Amino acid sequence: MNSLKILWTEYHQAVWLDNIRRSLVEDGGLEDLIRTDGVRGLTSNPSIFKKAIADTSEYDAQVADLLKANSEIGVEDVYEALVIRDIRSAADLLLPTWENSSKTDGFVSLEVSPELADETGATIEAARRLWKAVDRPNLMIKVPATPAGIGAIEKLIADGINVNATLMFSLGDYEAVAGAYLRGLAAAEDPSGIASVASFFVSRVDTAVDALLEEIGSDRAMALRGKAAIANAAAAYTRFEEIFHGRDFAPLLDHGACVQRPLWASTSTKNPGYSDVLYVEELVGRETVNTIPTATLEAFRDHGLPRDSLAEWQERASGILAELGELGIDLDEITLRLQREGVQAFKEAYEELLESLRGKMAQLKA
């Protein structure tokens, strides 16, 4: 059987595609991935949309139509119109998955503007507006797990809006997001039917930690390369099991609430010395999601070897994380910096996208 399908059929891990563009959703590509590889969801972010919109001509016709209808339309309104069309199309293709999974899978994620990452009220307002504009039950609004984002996540869940809590790098981030989800469900009029995932970023942790290990250069340090990110994720998965299969969640479960699945993000391999499917093979666990970029998805289909790997890493995680501390590596400091850098990277991608759109709009007006 296809290795990607095995992740679901044998290990109950959902594969989501970490990519979107107009041709993919409208020319049959996403439909093929759903049918052939068992893809069960899709995620997007400003960097992905920048590549899709700024680097192709696939959106030019719609931009021209928008300008024809309103020559004074703003660039952000044009961006949202382009994005909403793609998100709706993808959501419609994944709607059967959502329906057949009792509304627990088949989601498409759309991120609020990264410019709002430090503004709770503005994030809530933007999320509500996007939720209403897209008007698809299998939409998830992506909100970063910044201090301001945590409050927004809680309120949006209480409102009954599906949330993808993103840009999580540390166990502290995970604890905060899970707490916000539980409080939001408790405040919701009806907790059943509200879905959420906790997006935990992986490969960037190894990139940062490996650089420090190589500076240390001892045999002990070098033996830990390529292990920090997976151990970090495994520790979060252990907390997921404790929280959502323990006493705290039981009353909500009795009222039909869904667990908030961990989602492994940033799972393309950055170090060419590592396996190109490292962060897929080593993060297989029940009730999880792996959102996989196209190239990594194709590689795993070709030579990936699924196994119950997260259970193995759970046994080793605390020891690995302790060793890093003994070597003087402050993982909390690293992950806080990575979250800030992640927010900044998405802001820059968003700004570059808007600038490119302004240029296209000016050309079309001329």
Predicted pLDDT at 365? 85
What contacts 255, CB < 8 A, 6 or more positions away?
190, 191, 192
Tell how far CA 41 is from the center of its chain: 10
Provide the domain count of the chain: 1
What pLDDT, in 10s, does the model give residues 151-178? 999 999 999 999 999 999 999 999 999 9
* Verdict on whether the full-model pTM lies above 0.75: yes
Given a contact cutoff of 8 angstroms between Cβ atoms, the answer to whether 305 and 30 are in contact is no
> Residue 167 maps to which CATH number?
3.20.20.70
The residues carrying an active-site annotation are 142
- Give dist(CA 231, CA 248) in Å, integer: 25
Q: What pairs with residue 43 in β-bridges?
A: 18
Name the band, by pLDDT with cuts 50, 70 and 90, for residue 32: very high
Neighbours of 29 (CB within 10 A): 15
Q: Which burial class, exposed, middle or buried, applies to 363 when counting CB atoms under 10 A from its CB (0-12, 13-18, 19+)?
A: exposed
Mean pLDDT of 207-214: 98
b/e for 346-356, b at 16 or more Cβ within 10 A? bbebbeebbee
What pLDDT, in 10s, does the model give residues 73-103? 999 999 999 999 999 999 999 999 999 999 9
> What is the span of the domain harbouring residue 53?
3-365
Predicted pLDDT at 1? 77
